[in-house]
Structures are given as C-alpha cells and as structure tokens.
Structure 1
C-alpha cells in the first residue's frame, strides 16, 4: 500500500475511534502501533512502540508538567483560591456585576497557580456560584461566568496545554509561557467588559453589592500574596533568564507548599492534593505517549510533508488558508476535547503553518485560544459539563446560554491575535 494512503487511513481510523468514545491515548497508540507494524514490519513496529514512550518521557522539559499540576491542586486544597475570590470581591464588588467580575479576576488568579481549565471551573462552581446565587444573581449569568472564567487557565502561565504544545512541536516552553500572559490578560479584560455590558443592559441580572471600606480591601491583599509570589517567580525567573521553566515551577511549588503548611493544611488534604496531581499527570503522559507513537507512524508515511506541499502550493492568500484552519478548529471544538483536538491535528497542521511562514509561538497562542472557545461551546463544551455535573439543578442549556455573550468577545480576541501578532510575541522577543 502507498505510504501516503496508509497515513490517510491511519488518520481516518484515529478519528473514528475518538468519535466512538475511545480515549485519545489508546486510540492514537493503537493506530500508531498498527501502522508502524504495517509499514516497517512487526518486529520494528513493536520495538519502536516500546522505545518511543520512554524516549519522549525522559525529557527535562516535561518535568515541568507535574510541578504545574501540583501547584494548582495544593493551592486549591490549601484554601488559597478562596482567599483570592474574597479579595477580588472586596475590590471590585461594587462595580456592575461585581461578584461576576470578582469571579473572573479570581479565576485569573487561580490560573496563575494552576494551568487546568476544568479544575478552575470545578473550583469556582463550588465557591463562586453559590455566592452569586445567594446575592440574587441570575443563575444563567453566574453559570456562564464560572464556565468561561475557567478558560483563563489555558493561557495565563503556568499553562499545562502550552507546555504540551511546546513539547510536541519542539518549541521553547519558556517563550510560549511568556507569550500567553498578554492575551490571557486581554481575555480577562474582555470578559469583564462583557459582564459590564450585559448587566448594564439588564440590571436585574446582578444586584449591586454593598460597599467595602478601603481598610478591608487592603487587609485582603496579604491573603493572596502566594498568588503574586508564584506569578513573580515563574514569569520573572523565565523572563530574566534566572531560571528555566522547570526550575521556576519547582520554586513556585515550594512556595505554595510552605503557604499550605502555614495554613495548617491537614495530612488528608495534602494527600488528596498529591493524589490528584498523580492522577492528572498520569493521564497527560499517557496521552503524550500515545500521540508520539502516532506521530512517528505519520512521519514514516510522509503524510505531513505531503500535506505541507499541497497547502503551500495552493494559489490562494495564506490568510485564507489560516482562516480555513481556524474554522476547522472551531468546528472540531464542538465535538472533541481540547487536548485530543490538539494531539490529532498538530502532526499535520503544524508543518503547513510553518511552511506558510507563520510564527510557531504565535500559532501556539492562537491554537490554545481556539481550544479555550471549544471548551465552552456546544455540544461538547467540557467546562459547561463540569458546571452542570456539579450543579445538576442548572440545566446544561442554561449554562451554554450564559456563555453565549462571551463568545462575541472571543471573536474580538481572535481578531486581535491575528491582526497584531507583535502583541503576542512582545514578551518572548524581550526575553533575556
């Protein structure tokens, strides 16, 4: 069989397996092993399948992943997230939709000590959603705010999905983490603006909060010192070249651990945090192993290079091709989870993007932003399912309805990323 045809059949088989509900890790590993056995023989195919997982795991760059995951879970179990929400509520509670705005700010704070979108959504569904309901907020708006606020964890450093992108396409993890900061802050600002506009148009959705004294506001800041310390260590260490991403993550983890101990974190909560870290890390690495096996199979078929040549040879402006890729990701985001979508497409799409002359760091930010949109769009908006799973009394359609105004804001953010690539690449280019 022609190698290109075999590669196309492999991609089709992988898509069918994923659509049928087979986990991406197993679907990609099975397809990759079977494909390599066909194209290189049983002995070589099986041998390579055993070597690839270790070869791709024994990487210094990958050691940053469990540390980033640990930071988020330790912060959650130590109550640092609650302190961040309380501080945000005191500072912006009086603004239109103040509690909703506080939820966005607190979600950004949690993103700075986490990196997992669904974890952030789960935390604030339990923390912020009951608070907004108790203050008379519309449930649809509150649920939408919590779901969309969780997406900030995908861009604001530390971001696990940016690290995975960097490993797959062999790009600087440090530059990717820095590149995510400004668009992450832009997303936060746009979400706050959407809340302000929605509440101004319908004030009944969000009652005005009682005022808080300046002294109370100042008193709330020391409680979130850990968040500022983690952000400073990770971004400052990477930006000035003092530490690698792994070293900065190690120091940040130590800071969170010390804070947790000072807060008298129980052995049970610490154990739960470590177990959550182990489970999540194992899941991520299994996906990486499976996809790397599949990527090696595709490399043997020559399909990625063939697709790149076809795309570059198209007699259309490169922006039209980019627009087609964006539409493809938006449609895929409606039926696939973000990590699976990225793993399935990057082996073929990334060479074409580089061949068209687009910056790989910039494209990583654009891709992660598209994945963010995917986790809040029907029918498989994972963050919306998390909200509904924790609060089944809020119908899933109500959660999606609450997210809808924010999707208009997402269009603006995507436009900024496309039209102003220098804005995305500003911090990476200024690295020491």
Structure 2
C-alpha cells in the first residue's frame, strides 16, 4: 500500500499541475486571441473530482487528516483513541465510496453528458468512486496498523477506556435521537448534533470525518437511510467537482512553487534593504515580508515557517531581543491568511455560500490595515523600549525602485493575481490557475528547478487540498443535518435580535472565536462554528462578507493568543531551544494590542471592509 499511496500522491499532483497550466493557457488564449480551449471548464471540473479522490489515497495512508485530540492530550493514551478514530474514519470512507458509486450509477442511468463536449459523466464518476474505494482500503490498512499497536500494548483496557466510554455516549445519544426525534424541538436536535460532533472530534476522530459522521448519524435518525445516502452523495459529489473549491489546490500549488523559486528570500531582502537604517527596521521588514509572502502563499503557518528562520537569524545577529524578534515573526505570519488570495477565506465562502472574488476584495483593505498597525506597534514599542532593537550603524539602504527590482517576481505575481481579480479578468479558479502558471515559469527559470522538487510541491499541494476537501464535505453534510433540524429556529429561540443587543451578541462571538482560535486549528475552529453563526449574523442583518473577514481576523488573532497559539508554536519549532515559549508569547503582546484596535475598527466601521467590493460592482 505504501508504494501505491505514494504513487497516487505524485500522480494527483501531476494532474493538478497539468490542469493549472491548461487553465492558464485558456485564459491567455481567451484574452489575447478570443480563442479559448473548447470544453476545458467541463473537463477541469471532472479532473478535480478525479484528482481529489486519488489524493485521498495518499492522505489516508499518510495519516494527514486534521485532528483535535483533546482526550489524547488529557489522558496521555493514544493507541485506543487512534484505533477507534481509524475505525470510524474507515467506515465513513466506505460510505463515501458507496454513495459515489450510486451517484455514478445515476449518471449512467440518466445518460447525463457534459454540455459542450457531450462526454458521458458516468464513467468519470465511476473512476472517481473506484479511487475513493482504494482510499478506503488505504484507511483500512491504517486501521490494521493501529489495531496491531493497540494489541501489543501492555494496558489494552486502559487504552480502550476513554474510546469505549465515548462510543457508549455516542450510541446512547444516537439511540435517543432515533427514538424521540419527532418529539424533539429544534434546539434539542441541534444540540444533539453538536454533542455528537464535539464528542467525536475531541476523541481524536479527524474533524472532517467527525462532521460527516455527525451529519450522517443525525440525518439517518431523523429521515432514514435513503435520505442519509442521498444527502451524503450530493454533498460529496458537489464538493469534489466544485469550481470554487478548485481554486484551493491551485493557490496552494502557486504558494509551493513560489517558495521553491526563492520568493521568500527576495521579499525579505527587499523589505530589509528599505528599512535597514531604522530602529527596528528588520522587524518592520519581517512584517512587510510576511504580508508580501502571505499574498502568494495564502497560509499563516507556511508564512511563519518559511520566513521565520531567515528573519530570526538576521535579527539575532543584530542583537534584537529574542522575544521581540520571534513575536514579530509569529504575529506577521498571521497576515498570510488575511491578505488575498486566502485559502481560509475561500473555505468560508464555500460554506457560507458567498462570492469568493467579493470576499477577496473585501479582505484587501483590512489586510493592509493589519500590516500598517503591526508596523505601528513596532514603532511605538521601540519608542518606549528602545533596548529591544538597537539602532543599526552599518546598514545600507536602497531606493524604493531598487527594492522593487529585488522583489520584482513576487510583486508581479501578486499584481497578476489580485489585479486580474480586481478588474474582472479572472474568476476565482482562473486567478489561481493563472497565478500558478506564472509561478511555474518563475520556478522553471529560477536555477533551482528539479523534477523531484516539482513533484513534491505538486503532491503536497493536492494532499493538503484533499484534507481541506474532506473538512468541507463533512461541514456540508453536517450543515445539511442542521438545516433539517431547524438550526435557524433554534438559534433565534436562544438569541432574539429583537431583545438582545447586537453589540452583546457580537462580543460573545468575538470571545468564542478567539478562544477557539487559540486552542484549535484555524480551519477546524471556523468550519465547526459557521453553520450556527451564519444564521445569527443573518438575523442581525449584517453582511456575511463583512463577517467572513471578521471571522478570519478573529481566528488569526487566536493563532498568537495563549495558551496554544499555533503560530507561536510554529515559531518555537523554528528557533528550538534558543527562545523559551513564554518569551515568544510576551513578544506578541504589542501585536495583540494592534489586533484589538483593528478588530474594533472593522466592527465599528464596516465600510473599511465593504468599500472596495462596492467600488468593484
């Protein structure tokens, strides 16, 4: 299974690269010669479904799904939890394969074809279903491995205690829902759905699988087996062939190629050469560099990990305070998810059913505001504590034009992608593909190109995407259950906008997201809350695009908030034992103050977020 899973990862990555280059060629041909490639859009939808199913073989075998695992951290015992999580994940993938085969069969029976090329859809879906079945087998091999690890343990009973109690509670809740669903009100049904979800997630079941399983169990209890399979199949197939979601693997591939092409070093060098003579100039350069690199990577963790090593080395060599240096890097990394293109914002838009291009436009000004406030935090901090960053004496600065020449490649890539979106040249998928195409050319002529490096970059992009697809599929299935359970009615019964002040509701939501963002993965914190938060925002008559930017800001603030700010721990992994974790948390304090100011401004003045999308209409 090892060679098969690795081959599937590489093959799916190659298909992703081919798709990105094909879409790039289509965009260029359409705009320059008015001669697009006929039917490419239809083929790309089918290709993405195929490659995601193939990538899941690699993801399952590599155990790459996102988990919370709180019970494991509390008990210190993982073998029993891993075994039960692998068992439930295997069951879900078997269900996924079954419903996708059913979906393929329906396409064959109806004789459905693509509109332009008149290709039969059934064979494509049968191929994807077969790959998903192989992914289930790959997950089964993981289950066997975890079973062997469990039964080799000297304390099997202790290892299985928490998993058995969790399964018993899950069974009791499910039986209660099956027996008494008709008599339950909407609040009870929604509460039971979330109880099942959090029980599974806390017990080490991957977050996407937890949501899918909670949704499937709830739908079965309320409506029956056939409805469960239908809802599962519809949400699975629609996500796998989603044109909007297709931009996620393309943007991730663009970021990977940008890293390989040396964009991070160029961005940081350009920023450093501009601000080197200023007290704290290297910290300012780090913030600017993180904003610039985040614009081409779309990931906070990737931005922190990539720029962390070089930025800390430069600041440490100039006697910066270790806490201040690492704090500025960890905080700057959060800009990677806010400045467009943002993968996390794409996921929010898919779940909340909002236009991605409008969201990208809405996040641009808040992203620039965040960058400006972070720079301000550095200047003000050093005004009162100048010893944190000694004034440099031997640094050379350059003109802005020279800095642009140093970083012309990442600047051009950013302008190509964001400019194309702003002026309506690209759709979300086309902007991602066109950006990937340009990044590929830069990588090809960077002097660092190698076939192995390209294969790994493409494989990692599609593998990460497959993990995100699983989460989104699970969120959609769980959202379908919540809709059937009456989540809007339940939310409005608890929070009545007519009697509860809007500011109080927003304050509670802000606190909730900061706490979740500090403990859980960014994607997990967002997707498990969007289904019940969106009805609240709609009831308050607020704009969902505005709230998406607020949500993204909140979970990113959580990434540098104690006790478990993920970016802080990423930074800790970069510097090792050189800086204690407590000093890094202390170093992000000025930036948390800046984040608070930004958050207040965005909430009090929604026009900061909504102005640019209005201008673009």
- TM norm. shorter chain > 0.5: yes
- The 5 A counterparts of 1:206-221 are 206-209=389-392, 210-214=394-398, 218-221=401-404
- 2:286 is equivalent to residue 103 of structure 1: yes
- CA shift, 1:313, in A, is 4.8
Q: Which runs of 4+ in 1 moved over 6 A?
A: none
Deviates more, 1:294-303 or 1:310-319: 310-319
Distance in 2 of aligned mates of 1:39 and 1:391: 52
Q: CA offsets, 1:74-107, max 9 Å, x none?
A: 1111111101100100001112211111000000
- CA shift, 1:221, in A, is 2.2
Q: CA offsets, 1:407-430, max 9 Å, x none?
A: 111110011101111111111001
Q: Give the equivalent residue in structure 2 for 1:318.
A: 502
The number of residues matched between the two structures is: 431
Change (3 A) 1:398 1:18: farther
Please report the TM-score for the alignment, with normalisation by the length of structure 2: 0.68
Distance in 1 of aligned mates of 2:337 and 2:296: 12
Q: Give the equivalent residue in structure 2 for 1:168.
A: 351
Distance in 2 of aligned mates of 1:26 and 1:317: 36
- 2:532 is equivalent to residue 348 of structure 1: yes
Change (3 A) 1:313 1:158: closer
- The 5 A counterparts of 1:19-418 are 19-209=202-392, 210-214=394-398, 218-267=401-450, 268-393=452-577, 394-418=579-603
Q: CA offsets, 1:175-194, max 9 Å, x none?
A: 10011111101111111111
Please report the TM-score for the alignment, with normalisation by the length of structure 1: 0.95
Deviates more, 1:97-106 or 1:5-14: 5-14
Distance in 2 of aligned mates of 1:263 and 1:297: 49
- CA shift, 1:27, in A, is 1.4
Change (3 A) 1:313 1:196: closer
Superposition RMSD in Å: 1.7
Distance in 2 of aligned mates of 1:155 and 1:10: 31
- CA shift, 1:148, in A, is 0.6
Distance in 2 of aligned mates of 1:314 and 1:292: 29
Give unmatched runs, 5+ long, in structure 2: 1-179
Give unmatched runs, 5+ long, in structure 1: none
Q: Which protein shows a greater Rg?
A: 2
Distance in 1 of aligned mates of 2:185 and 2:408: 56
SS across alignment from 1:186: helix
The 8 Å contact of residues 312 and 356 in structure 1, kept in 2 or not, is answered as no
Q: CA offsets, 1:214-256, max 9 Å, x none?
A: 36x6444223122222222222222222221221222111111
